[in-house]
Structure 1
Amino acid sequence: MKRESTGDKLFITINAIVMFLVMVIVLYPLIYIISASISDPMYVNNGDMWLIPKGITFEGYERVFRNMDIWTGYRNTIFYTVVGTLINLVLTIPCAYALSRKDLEGRNYIMVLFIFTMFFSGGLIPHYLLIKNLGMIDTPWALLLPGAVSVWNIIITRTFFQSTIPRELEEAAEIDGCSNGKLFVRIILPLSAPIIAVMGLFYGVGHWNSYFGALIFLSDRDWFPLQLILREILIINQMSDSAMLGGAEAKAQAEQARIAEIVKYAVIIVSTLPVIAAYPFMQRFFVKGVMIGSVKG
């Protein structure tokens, strides 16, 4: 074996130190939130708890599991994520494949129009008026349809098809009498598992974390996603911290702030678990799809 030089050893050592620091920077917030979710809010607010739980209590999780608003938000977020991701994939994958075909007339002009929308838009007020005129205010479609397609994801998916699917394979299928529809369903889709997994992860995480659209278009609490419920908890906590009250009202406000503080971290843990649990199963497709879709092309 080749003996490592002093420069190689120095590089490996520095690289190991940097990676360790990155690991600490990434892990510390996660460990802190987990510890804060089972610690007494008094220790968390005073800064006495910084890594190891203190005054262990599971009251936050008990209140989360008893709070129907949180479960309603959880149900709505799952609905938005599953249905929204399916809509995104059904529109993105065929569109990207069509744009990757050299025999599609005007595909370059279509891409120019798509890319134009990435940099210019009508703004929030025209967007709101459009949703209102379509009758989608206070409906889940206000969150699902306007963002049904991401131009950036179309570009990544198109690059994947151009760099991965051989044109000779398509020509062979056409010679055998395969129509464009059968070619796409029976040949292209089975070969596109990596990019489908990547797009599903991109879209799914986007839907799961999204709250701004719901904040603008929804006023019916029955359709609130989990992120809006968490936002309300944070606002209640901030208002309680800044309120200057006295007597019984101050005690009630302080108790409300304590409950909001302990529930806040528990909700963060509960809301992020599905994404964290799903990622390891999709990691290999994620890495492969991103590398193929971005390096080549």
Structure 2
Amino acid sequence: MKDEASVQSGLDRHNRIKPLTNILFNLVFIILGIIAVFPVLFVVMISLTAESSIQEHGYQIIPAAFSLDGYRFLYQQSDMILRALGVSLFVTGVGTVLGVMLTTSMGYVMSRPQFRLKKFVTWLVFIPMIFNGGLVSSYYVTANLLHLKDSIWALILPLAVSSFNVIICKTFFRSTIPDALVESAKIDGASQLRIFLRIVLPISLPVLATIGLFLSFSYWNDWFQSMLYIDNQNMYSLQALLSKIMGQADYLAKNASSLGVSIAEAASKMPKESARMAITVLIVLPIACAYPFFQKYYTSGLTIGAVKE
């Protein structure tokens, strides 16, 4: 016992961080935290800056003149923005749930050693990680073959499954779910679907949260699918609509002199820079508020299985 205690104390002594080193680590992490938070605060302050102040002094962390003109500009477009927000929320919610179901089920099937087509399906999933069919082929399949043009499913299905996410699920299930647990359930008469739904998924919250977070970020930040497949402006996602608003604002500002007196006057009063930053805040805020609720599972999902006893 004495030798064991001395060995343990020796390990503690070697693994202990010196006070000076601990202070340096804390300073480094504080600096990194400030570096990460500063751009967000900078964008928020610019969105609250008067357009005349931006034109005169440029971007400032403490504005010379505060204004809510950028947010008033968005409020004037509130009907379109609320409709687009509803589309983005629906697409993000349905797409995340559907994507998690498809991704985890594929990953679980590929992780089972008894699955006869395991090698073929693994190659089928792995190849798209290296080779891409290209934009023309994907557009043809989505718009012409599946006839999803101007459909809400054109915003959901193309992003639902990613080879990267499937590989993550396969690795998680293979390294975390014991084969003995699955075999004992099969002996008790449970089907593979029941094993997956009642046994595997309840103990796989870290990977579910990780994949769900990846998918929700992907859906919420996507604007490209709307640009490709949606012609009806009532079905634009929030990011696509705001991008279009800013594009129109830039067009009016650059061509105001050739569009008539009333349009030129409106363009001159348009808070272009502050509105752009207000749009950024509007896009980032919801997903930033949701992230802390997933952080615990997200960290566990990335680290679980990395260390074996």
Q: Fold match, TM over 0.5?
A: yes
* Correspondence for 2:3: none
Q: For 1:154-173, what aligned pairs fall within 5 Å after superposition?
A: 154-173=166-185
Q: Deviations over 1:224-251 (max 9, x none)?
A: 1111122123323433554473783543
Task: Label 1:29 to 1:56 Cα distance change in 2 as closer, same or farther (>3 A).
Answer: same
* Correspondence for 1:179: 191
Judge which range, 233-242 or 34-43, deviates more.
233-242
Task: Label 1:115 to 1:105 Cα distance change in 2 as closer, same or farther (>3 A).
Answer: same
8 Å contact kept, 1:156–1:294: no
RMSD: 2.6
Percent identity (aligned): 31
Q: For 1:97-112, what aligned pairs fall within 5 Å after superposition?
A: 97-112=108-123
* Correspondence for 2:158: 146
8 Å contact kept, 2:221–2:239: yes
Judge which range, 134-143 or 10-19, deviates more.
10-19
Match for residue 265 of structure 2 among 251, 258, 278: 251
Between the aligned partners of 2:13 and 2:307, the Cα distance in structure 1 is 33
Match for residue 38 of structure 1 among 43, 48, 51: 48
Between the aligned partners of 1:18 and 1:263, the Cα distance in structure 2 is 34
Q: For 1:123-272, what aligned pairs fall within 5 Å after superposition?
A: 123-133=134-144, 134-240=146-252, 242-243=254-255, 245=257, 248=261, 250-256=264-270, 258=271, 260-272=272-284
Task: Label 1:295 to 1:130 Cα distance change in 2 as closer, same or farther (>3 A).
Answer: farther
8 Å contact kept, 2:100–2:211: yes
Judge which range, 168-177 or 282-291, deviates more.
168-177
8 Å contact kept, 1:76–1:224: yes
Between the aligned partners of 1:66 and 1:58, the Cα distance in structure 2 is 12
- Letter of the 1:73 counterpart: A
Judge which range, 205-214 or 177-186, deviates more.
177-186
Between the aligned partners of 2:46 and 2:117, the Cα distance in structure 1 is 56
Between the aligned partners of 1:17 and 1:235, the Cα distance in structure 2 is 42
Shift of 1:65: 3.5
Task: Label 1:29 to 1:48 Cα distance change in 2 as closer, same or farther (>3 A).
Answer: same
Task: Tell me the number of residue pairs that the alignment of Structure 1 and Structure 2 aligns.
Answer: 292
8 Å contact kept, 1:237–1:261: no
Task: Label 1:293 to 1:137 Cα distance change in 2 as closer, same or farther (>3 A).
Answer: farther
8 Å contact kept, 2:249–2:267: no
Unaligned runs of 5+ in 2: 1-8
Between the aligned partners of 1:175 and 1:45, the Cα distance in structure 2 is 74
Task: Tell whether 2:133 aligns with 1:117.
Answer: no
Judge which range, 204-213 or 29-38, deviates more.
29-38
Match for residue 294 of structure 2 among 282, 288, 296: 282
Between the aligned partners of 2:254 and 2:19, the Cα distance in structure 1 is 54
* Correspondence for 2:91: 80
Unaligned runs of 5+ in 1: none
